Amino acid sequence: MEGLYALDLFGTAVFAVAGALAAGRKQMDLFGVTVLSVVTALGGGTLRDLILNVPVGWTQDVTYIYVACVASIATFYSARVRRIPTQVLLYSDALGLAVFTILGAHKALALGFSPTIAIIMGVMTGVFGGMIRDVLAGEMPLILRKEIYASASLAGALLYVLTEVYFGMQWWNIVATLLIILIVRVASIRYQLELPVFRDSH
Amino acid sequence: MEGLYALDLFGTAVFAVAGALAAGRKQMDLFGVTVLSVVTALGGGTLRDLILNVPVGWTQDVTYIYVACVASIATFYSARVRRIPTQVLLYSDALGLAVFTILGAHKALALGFSPTIAIIMGVMTGVFGGMIRDVLAGEMPLILRKEIYASASLAGALLYVLTEVYFGMQWWNIVATLLIILIVRVASIRYQLELPVFRDSH
Amino acid sequence: MEGLYALDLFGTAVFAVAGALAAGRKQMDLFGVTVLSVVTALGGGTLRDLILNVPVGWTQDVTYIYVACVASIATFYSARVRRIPTQVLLYSDALGLAVFTILGAHKALALGFSPTIAIIMGVMTGVFGGMIRDVLAGEMPLILRKEIYASASLAGALLYVLTEVYFGMQWWNIVATLLIILIVRVASIRYQLELPVFRDSH
């Protein structure tokens, strides 16, 4: 399905932008920025393919690599021309999270794995790239901080897997999942929503 | 062998408890705690299966995931009701280390790999989950600090592989290995044993 | 090809030395030093083989593990006898980077992957071991700091892949690539060369 391929490349590009902006905060050079971007953009899909025991996507089709590099370098130079608002990092990261959650879940279902595995592969594909990005940049991963992050991906993966199992992959369940993840992420940032925190009684 | 399967689920559960308690120290929310737990519990086996080139265990049997999630959430809410002593973290981690060392070594031998590889896969399966847990939580991995940690796993793996090669998998070499690893870990914590430290002469 | 195998073992040994010296700075004990060394020495090749979907090298031939352990333990005890100059860490790391870049690129080409993939696998094999070493030791990876690191590997990978595609693997393109990577690394350290840094205009 061509729309799916376009969506995958789109997710790769927005995650590369998010990776480049995160790297920029650390005053890295062009190459460091590109490496962190590409790892962010391709990391989730790489782990997914390794675990699902299929060939890693970008080793079969180098377009992914070119898209990630171009998006990263374009971000690097754009930031020199005019200031990029902080929101761009948050929105591009949220968009990448949403797209990769859907694609991860879909790929697992298409390969015949159970819905539970599909939900987990959706969340893993969505969050893993950003997780290594944060670890490499020396920060505690977003996913483990108080903000709602992986929960947004989980909500989307649940919705998507349940609807794909019954109705197949349709434009409406893709759009609905994208919206759910984006809305939960944006709302959690704007209103600083939190889940209950670990509390040791004493 | 059913006892083996039960042992594997038991190891998964105790490592999930250790992961949840480690996460709790960082004031994470319910979802962050669950993610860190599941990564701790399934990380070692995932890397082992990827490297041994066999399907990743939990993608074939979702019971592992349910056990890890239930153990993690139960720990999260127990900690709200009554204070969990620090020893519980150390003992559950030591128990998980022991169980996964045995299972990692056994799986490699069963797949026909050499005893040296089996020893390494034992140690890797035992320590890797905790290692990513520490990296994600922004701490230096336990394994690299001065305490005897991976050495306990190595001692157990040596004993287990040597005895399995000559006598097969028996209840007595499983029990002996579990005891060795637990005793070394607990003794090293209690008496603060240390191996010789890197020292640059000058 | 026997020379290739010798080169691979040599790369493993020098990376293990670099890993042991890096670990030594953190006051780790003998076992921690060995673990960090072996991870540095075998990490890049492990990720490469997982992504290229071939059996992981050291699971098929334990010589790699012995070489890494011996080099690591020898470094540990040498440092006790006489002071090891800082340059040894930088040079052994540069040498390992050069050797693994060539071997990673060559393996991808030999398996029939495209030149673009071969360049990426070269860089990834070269830099990944050191990257996990730094993450585990709680430092920001060398590759992401301002110094030219992955760029040296990339320059070498480009040269090597282009020449192997046209002329095959020859002694002269191996030597030329080794020299390019070593010279760029050493020059960048000596003259503190830098690539352009991410700069947010405002």
- Summarised one tens digit per residue, pLDDT across range A59-85 is 889 899 999 999 999 998 888 887 888
Question: Model confidence over A3-39: pLDDT tens digits?
Answer: 889 999 999 999 999 989 888 777 777 877 888 899 8
Question: Model confidence over C33-46: pLDDT tens digits?
Answer: 888 899 889 999 99
Helix (H, G, I), strand (E, B) or coil at A186: helix
> How close A2 comes to chain C (CA, Å)?
23
Mean pLDDT to the nearest integer, B125-132: 86
Residue C69 burial by Cβ neighbours in a 10 Å radius (0-12, 13-18, 19+): middle
Mean pLDDT to the nearest integer, A102-110: 95
Half-sphere exposure of residue C156: CA atoms within 13 angstroms, side-chain side: 38
Q: Tokens 């006790």 identify what position?
A: C80
> How close C164 comes to chain B (CA, Å)?
29
Residues of chain B with C-beta less than 8 angstroms from the C-beta of A202: 83
Backbone angles phi, psi at B201, to 5 degrees: -70, 145
Residues of chain B with C-beta less than 8 angstroms from the C-beta of A131: 136
Residue of C nearest to B133 (CA): C136
Q: What pLDDT score was predicted for residue A66? A: 93
Contact A50, A68 (CB under 8 A): no
- Rounded to 5 degrees, what angle do the CA atoms A39, A41, A42 make? 70
Q: Do B30 and A196 touch (CB under 8 A)?
A: yes
Q: What is the DSSP letter of A84?
A: P
Q: What pLDDT score was predicted for residue B95? A: 92
Q: Do C117 and A59 touch (CB under 8 A)?
A: yes
Contact B84, B92 (CB under 8 A): no
Residues of chain B with C-beta less than 8 angstroms from the C-beta of C79: 198-201
Q: Do B76 and A198 touch (CB under 8 A)?
A: yes
Residue of C nearest to A48 (CA): C51
Mean pLDDT to the nearest integer, B119-123: 92
Residues of chain B with C-beta less than 8 angstroms from the C-beta of A154: 31
> How close B133 comes to chain A (CA, Å)?
11
Q: Which of A26, A30, A35 to mutate to test the interface with C (most CBs of C within 10 A)?
A: A35
Structure tokens, C83? 């002071």
> How close B122 comes to chain C (CA, Å)?
13
Question: Model confidence over A136-164: pLDDT tens digits?
Answer: 777 766 666 656 778 889 999 999 999 99
Residue spans of alpha helices (H) in C111-168: 115-136, 150-167
Residues of chain C with C-beta less than 8 angstroms from the C-beta of B141: 136
Contact B122, B160 (CB under 8 A): yes
> How close B111 comes to chain C (CA, Å)?
11
Question: Model confidence over B59-68: pLDDT tens digits?
Answer: 889 899 999 9
Helix (H, G, I), strand (E, B) or coil at B24: helix
Nearest to A140 among B29, B84, B138 (CB): B138
Nearest to A202 among B31, B56, B83 (CB): B83
Residues of chain B with C-beta less than 8 angstroms from the C-beta of A201: 79-83
Residue of B nearest to A111 (CA): B59
Q: What is the DSSP letter of B55?
A: -
Q: How many CB atoms lie within 10 A of CB C34?
A: 25
Amino acid identity, residue C156?
G
Helix (H, G, I), strand (E, B) or coil at B66: helix
Q: Do C23 and B194 touch (CB under 8 A)?
A: no
Q: Which of C127, C144, C202 to mutate to test the interface with A (most CBs of A within 10 A)?
A: C144
Q: How many CB atoms lie within 10 A of CB C165?
A: 12
**The dihedral of CA C75, C76, C79, C80: what is its sign?**
negative
> With 90 as the cut, is the pLDDT of residue A96 above it?
yes
Q: Tokens 């490592």 identify what position?
A: B15
Chain B interface with A: residues with Cβ < 8 Å: 20, 23-24, 26-33, 35-36, 46, 50, 55-56, 58-59, 62, 65, 76, 79-84, 135-138
Question: Model confidence over B86-113: pLDDT tens digits?
Answer: 788 888 889 999 999 999 999 999 999 9
Chain C interface with B: residues with Cβ < 8 Å: 20, 23-24, 26-33, 35-36, 46, 50, 55-56, 58-59, 62, 65, 76, 79-84, 135-138
Which one has a higher pLDDT value, B24 or B76?
B76
> With 80 as the cut, is the pLDDT of residue B127 above it?
yes
At residue A202 the predicted structure's pLDDT band, cuts being 50, 70 and 90, is: very low
Q: Do B62 and A117 touch (CB under 8 A)?
A: yes
Residue spans of alpha helices (H) in B30-136: 30-52, 57-60, 63-81, 86-110, 115-136
Q: What is the DSSP letter of A196?
A: P
Beta strands in chain C (DSSP E): none
Q: What pLDDT score was predicted for residue A125? A: 93
Residue of C nearest to A137 (CA): C140
Amino acid identity, residue C106?
H
Mean pLDDT to the nearest integer, B10-32: 85
Contact C201, A80 (CB under 8 A): yes
The model's pTM is: 0.85
> How close A55 comes to chain C (CA, Å)?
7
Mean pLDDT to the nearest integer, B163-182: 92
> With 80 as the cut, is the pLDDT of residue A100 above it?
yes
Q: Tokens 């010798």 identify what position?
A: C6
> With 70 as the cut, is the pLDDT of residue B52 above it?
yes
Q: Do B80 and A201 touch (CB under 8 A)?
A: yes
Half-sphere exposure of residue C86: CA atoms within 13 angstroms, side-chain side: 4
Structure tokens, B155? 């001692």
At residue B198 the predicted structure's pLDDT band, cuts being 50, 70 and 90, is: low
Residues of chain C with C-beta less than 8 angstroms from the C-beta of B196: 29-30
**Per-residue tens of pLDDT for chain C, all 202 residues:** 678 899 999 999 999 999 898 887 777 778 778 888 998 899 999 999 999 989 998 988 989 999 999 999 999 888 888 888 878 888 888 999 999 999 999 999 999 999 999 999 999 999 888 888 887 777 766 666 656 778 889 999 999 999 999 998 888 999 999 999 999 888 887 776 655 655 554 4
Residue of B nearest to C69 (CA): B120
Q: Helix B115-136 and helix A115-136: axis angle, to 10°?
A: 70
Residue of B nearest to A113 (CA): B59
Residues of chain B with C-beta less than 8 angstroms from the C-beta of C132: none
Q: Do C80 and B114 touch (CB under 8 A)?
A: no
